[in-house]
Amino acid sequence: MANIAKKVSWSSRAEESGVAGERTPLFNGSEQPRLSRQLSGGGSVFQIGRLSTVDLEEEITSDEDSQRGRPKEIPHNEKLLSLKYESLDYDNIENQLFLEEERRMSYMGFRCLEISRWVVCGLIGFLTGLIACFIDIAVEELAGIKYQVVKQNIEKFTEVGGLSISLILWAVLNSSIVMLGAIIVAFFEPIAAGSGIPQIKCYLNGVKIPRVVRLKTLVVKVCGVICSVVGGLAVGKEGPMIHSGAVVAAGVSQGRSTSLKRDFKIFEYFRRDTEKRDFVSAGAAAGVSAAFGAPVGGVLFALEEGASFWNQMLTWRIFFASMISTFTLNFFLSIYHKNPGDLSNPGLINFGRFESDVRNSHCVFFQLYVVCGLLGALFNLLNYWLTIFRIRYVHRPCLQVMEAMLVAAVTATVSFTMIYFSNDCQPLGPEHTEEYPLQLFCADGEYNSMATAFFNTPERSVRSLFHNQPGTYNPLTLGLFTLTYFFLACWTYGLAVSAGVFIPSLLIGAAWGRLFGILLASITSSGSIWADPGKYALIGAAAQLGGIVRMTLSLTVIMVEATGNVTYGLPIMLVLMTAKIVGDYFVEGLYDIHIKLQSVPFLHLEAPATSHWLTAREVMGSPVTCLNRIEKVGTIVDILSNTSTNHNGFPVVVQPAKLCGLILRSQLIVLLKHKVFVELARSRLTQRKLQLKDFRDAYPRFPPIQSIHVSQDERECMMDLTEFMNATPYTVPQETSLPRVFKLFRALGLRHLVVVDDENRVVGLVTRKDLARYHLGKHGLEELQVAQT
């Protein structure tokens, strides 16, 4: 277990709640599930806390046993909830300082703020578009060089024999490029691995994933993705754009870079979680928009993942950022393609326009759905096992680099073998769209069709599958390609390289769909209707992607926008929904799997359906560590220093325990740092009034309590929290049902929710992990174990 803890790359410092006692961690850091299995079918609420202690003990014991017996075993790792993640606070901290500032601000001030929000969103879109453009051009150029070198080499050796040298050249080239990408990711910034979409999902959900929006991450991400794509891995460059956009947004909106130690003294108002998260939504949307040329899809992605509370102005800004992003990319790419002003290539991947409309006779598509859902589920399942294996055995950076190199070499070898043994020759027509046609053993004027699929960037392959004339591929080629690429892509996702899973999924689905289309045409032989296998490729691609990532609405819109033909909306939507339903029956979506494997306390949109019989009383953490409104400095320091609890939010009370506010660890830290003490006995310190600016300057990297020195004299001083605490925290009574608590918490994006009794006394505190613990398993409501690590 400690093993896993070390591996899990999204590490963090602090636990969320302000709850002391009761939560004594067991030796393995997990906590007993308060909700015993016997109760999952229903039953009286009031027995839960106390019931079946014996059962619980037994369970724990057997758990410990299994831990001792098989120390390497990971028992239901996805059924843990880590306490190490902090939450973002989407609720404004409305303390007196904040209110005073807001009240001082004139209407014009608010207008200016609004305008700067638009400016920031425009900047985010522009920069994201530029980055996408940079990645695209870099990949095009480098891949071009690589393919030219390999092609010449192959052509040279095809005649004289000794193609194994070509194979070695290809494999070594790929491996070394991928090694570069893997090294920067594994050694410098492990968080930049993968597509980054799970991390951004978590961030937008309100979980603070450390280092996820830093400049260094962006740099590593961009270089990493170029290396992976050029290195010929079965990956796409689209997924990472979403992460890149988010980092750009987090950087631009703060008007400074903590990494570069530059503060431009602008946008200081936006230095808090609420505003930052809004901008990160916009950045993610701009990323989607740049990747797929799908601005509306980007907005919907941001909303699906991020927005709990729909805000019209925010949505417009997100849309604006998306538009600017796709426009920027399009504009610069049109210059690069020497066709300035041609705005018909709005994204990194462009499916090409499907001119013909869908006819309802194509509802035969339906047959594809189930199969693709199954294939998606299989992909996820294989990748899940692989990820568990990696967590357990491949957790040292050098091992990770070696695995990446191995995958690169294997990919090259498999591709080469497939091309070598394929005898699918196609005539090289005047209208051929292949960039690097490989002749190999084909007759003059022909090219190897298998090479079209393998010896190409995946984006081009997808487009060929969608748009090439019927008859370009023969079924055997497609079948073999699907099979090999499926396993390669599955192996690749989760490597320590920056790479997306969108394009490989599309490619597998497109190949499989086209195959299906060809077979169907040959069976029915009613050529006119089934003539276009490209449509089947499109639907297959949608189904495969949907089966893997399980986004429905935003993915539909993304596909429709990338296709440029609205009439494909309904079939694509039906395909995606079926793929989701079929897939969900077996295993979760790929991103959700990876989120669960990291034990992130991810809050879904609604409380589990059958959770009405739980109330705040059962859910909350208690007793709560409260502070007095005028509290001794020593007490505060002691509470903050208590590493066994490590709380982040503290209700402030006046005796007897009446709630009068809520204060955060970060605020207390700033107060201690500036020594805002009431009665300094023999102090040299001038007591200056603290401004909001002091809190904003410290945001978001507040120093740890250990770095703040408080002398013995100062410990005796008092601290008046009145001005700094949020005087009106949201509260719920103890009898509130879990769905109601959940709704309030999720809709307002809270971090702490105080539970009070009917005399307004604090009795508990609900935080993210208290709600994220409950989920619907196969046997009704289940409770996840909570782990310290």
Query: Minimum distance from CB of 780 to a copy of itself (Å)?
Result: 6
Q: Tell me: does residue 561 bind a copy of itself (CB under 8 A).
A: yes
Any contact of residue 47 with a copy of itself (CB under 8 A)? no
User: How many alpha carbons lie under 13 Å from residue 788 in its C-beta half-sphere?
Assistant: 13
Q: Identify which range of 492-500, 710-718, 726-734, 763-771 contacts a copy of itself by CB under 8 A.
A: 726-734
What token pair was written down for 19?
């709850």
Site for a copy of itself contains 527 (CB under 8 A): no
**Segment contacting a copy of itself (CB under 8 A): 105-113, 165-173, 197-205, 428-436?**
105-113
Q: Considering only residues 327-366, where is the footprint of a copy of itself by CB under 8 A?
A: 327, 331, 341-344, 346, 357-361
Task: Map the footprint of a copy of itself across residues 110-139, applying CB under 8 A.
Answer: 110
The residue among 391 and 781 lying less far from a copy of itself, judged by its C-beta, is: 781
From the list 139, 135, 537, the residue with the least C-alpha distance to 352 is: 537
Q: What are phi and psi of 111, to 5 degrees?
A: -60, -45
Asked whether position 316 contacts a copy of itself by CB under 8 A, the answer is: yes
Rounded to an integer, what distance in angstroms lies between the CA atom of residue 17 and that of residue 642? 13
Q: CB-wise, 75 or 733, nearer to a copy of itself?
A: 733
Position among 36, 244, 308, 456 found at the interface with a copy of itself (CB under 8 A):
308
- CB-based contacts of 317, cutoff 8 Å, min separation 6: 117, 118, 121, 278, 282
Question: For the residues of 25-94, what is the DSSP string, one character each?
Answer: --TTSB---SS-GGGGG---GGGTTTTTHHHHHHHHHHHHHHHHH-TT--TTGGGEEES-PEEP--S---
Asked if 456 interacts with a copy of itself (CB under 8 A), we say no
**Which region among 11-19, 163-171, 432-440, 739-747 touches a copy of itself (by CB under 8 A)?**
739-747
From 54, 72, 76, 107, residue interacting with a copy of itself (rule: CB under 8 A)? 107
Q: Is 38 in the site for a copy of itself (CB under 8 A)?
A: no
Strands 785-787 and 80-82: parallel
Between residues 42 and 427, which has the closer beta carbon with respect to a copy of itself? 42
Q: Retrieve residue 130's tokens.
A: 């530029």
Q: Rounded to the nearest whole angstrom, what is the least distance from the CB of residue 402 to a copy of itself in the complex? A: 40
Which is closer to a copy of itself, CB of 446 or CB of 720?
720
- Single out the segment in contact with a copy of itself by CB under 8 A; choices: 103-111, 166-174, 391-399, 641-649: 103-111
Minimum distance from residue 280 beta carbon to a copy of itself (Å): 16
Both tokens of 612, joined, read 């009405």
Least CB distance to a copy of itself at residue 540 (A): 20
Binding test (CB under 8 A) with a copy of itself, winner from 22, 65, 263, 606: 606
Listed ranges 234-242, 312-320, 627-635, 678-686: which one lies at the site for a copy of itself (CB under 8 A):
312-320
Tokens for 508, please give them.
């597998």
- Torsion angle in degrees (nearest 10) through CA of 51, 55, 58, 59: -90
CB closer to a copy of itself out of 118 and 487: 118
The widest CA-to-CA distance across the chain, in whole angstroms, is 97
| Pairing mode of beta strands 86-87, 207-208 | antiparallel
Stretch that binds a copy of itself, among 311-319, 464-472, 630-638, 704-712 (CB under 8 A): 311-319
Chain residues 187-246 in contact with a copy of itself, contact rule CB under 8 A: none
156 contributes a contact to a copy of itself by CB under 8 A? no
Tell me, what DSSP letter sits at residue 567?
A: G
Q: Is 725 in the site for a copy of itself (CB under 8 A)?
A: no
How far apart are the C-alpha atoms of 253 and 279, rounded to whole Å? Answer: 7
Window 67-96: residues binding a copy of itself (CB under 8 A): 92, 94
Shorter beta-carbon distance to a copy of itself: residue 142 or 776: 776
Residue 259 touching a copy of itself (CB under 8 A): no
Min separation Cβ 660 and a copy of itself, Å: 7
Least separation in angstroms between CB 653 and a copy of itself: 11
Structure tokens at 27: 């030796």
CB of 424 or CB of 618, closer to a copy of itself: 618
Instruction: Give dist(CA 634, CA 640) in Å, integer.
Output: 10
**Which member of 370, 730, 775, 782 binds a copy of itself (CB under 8 A)?**
730
Nearer Cβ to a copy of itself, position 298 or 533? Answer: 298
553: contact with a copy of itself by CB under 8 A: yes
Among 605, 688, 697, 703, binds a copy of itself (CB under 8 A): 605
Q: Under the criterion CB under 8 A, does residue 266 sit at the interface with a copy of itself?
A: no
DSSP-derived secondary structure letter, 659: E
Return the structure tokens found at 319.
């849309």
Nearer to a copy of itself, 323 or 717 (CB): 323
End-to-end Cα separation, the chain, in angstroms: 9
Q: How far is the CB of 650 from a copy of itself (least distance, A)?
A: 18
* Shortest spacing between CB 374 and a copy of itself, in angstroms: 21
> C-alpha distances in angstroms, 213 versus 226, 713, 727, 772?
19, 40, 31, 23
Nearer to a copy of itself, 27 or 309 (CB): 309
Taking alpha carbons only, the member of 331, 307, 191 closest to residue 247 is 191
240 near 200, Cβ under 8 Å?
no
- Distance, CA of 84 to CA of 71 (rounded, Å): 22
Q: Report the residue from 2, 105, 145, 531 that binds a copy of itself according to the rule CB under 8 A.
A: 105
Enumerate the H helices of 587-711 as residue ranges.
Answer: 590-597, 616-619, 633-641, 665-673, 692-698
Residues between 609 and 668 with contacts to a copy of itself, criterion CB under 8 A: 609-610, 612-613, 658-660
Residue 732 binds to a copy of itself (criterion: CB under 8 A): yes
Burial of 188 (0-12, 13-18, 19+ CB in 10 A): middle
| Closest distance to a copy of itself from the beta carbon of 516 (Å) | 21
Contacts of 750 (CB under 8 A, 6+ apart): 89, 90, 91, 730, 744
Nearer residue to a copy of itself within complex by CB, 603 or 705: 603
- In the complex, the smallest distance separating the C-beta of residue 95 from a copy of itself, rounded to whole angstroms, is 11
Whole-angstrom Cα distance, residue 528 to residue 200?
A: 45
CA-wise closest residue to 214 among 266, 265, 261, 275: 261
User: Using CB under 8 A, which of 256, 696, 740, 775 touches a copy of itself?
Assistant: 740
Residues 746-785 that bind a copy of itself (CB under 8 A): 747-748, 756, 758-760, 776, 780
Going from the C-alpha of 608 to that of each of 17, 202, 611, 659, the distances in angstroms are 22, 19, 6, 30
Question: How near is the Cβ of 463 to a copy of itself at its closest, in Å?
Answer: 16
Which of 72, 76, 104, 265 lies at the binding interface for a copy of itself (CB under 8 A)? 104
Q: How many residues bind a copy of itself (CB under 8 A)?
A: 88
The correct pick among 17, 456, 556, 599 for binding a copy of itself (CB under 8 A) is 556
- 211 Rama sector, left if φ>0, alpha if ψ -120 to 50, beta otherwise: left
Q: Among residues 4, 242, 692, 727, which is the contact residue for a copy of itself, using CB under 8 A?
A: 727
By the rule CB under 8 A, 607 interacts with a copy of itself: no
Q: Which DSSP letter does residue 707 get?
A: G
Q: Which of 474, 567, 628, 683 binds a copy of itself (CB under 8 A)?
A: 567
Helix orientation angle between 239-254 and 215-230, rounded to the nearest 10 degrees: 160
Amino acid at 409: A
Phi, psi of 766 (to 5 degrees): -105, 125
Shortest CA distance to 296 belongs to which of 612, 656, 562? 562
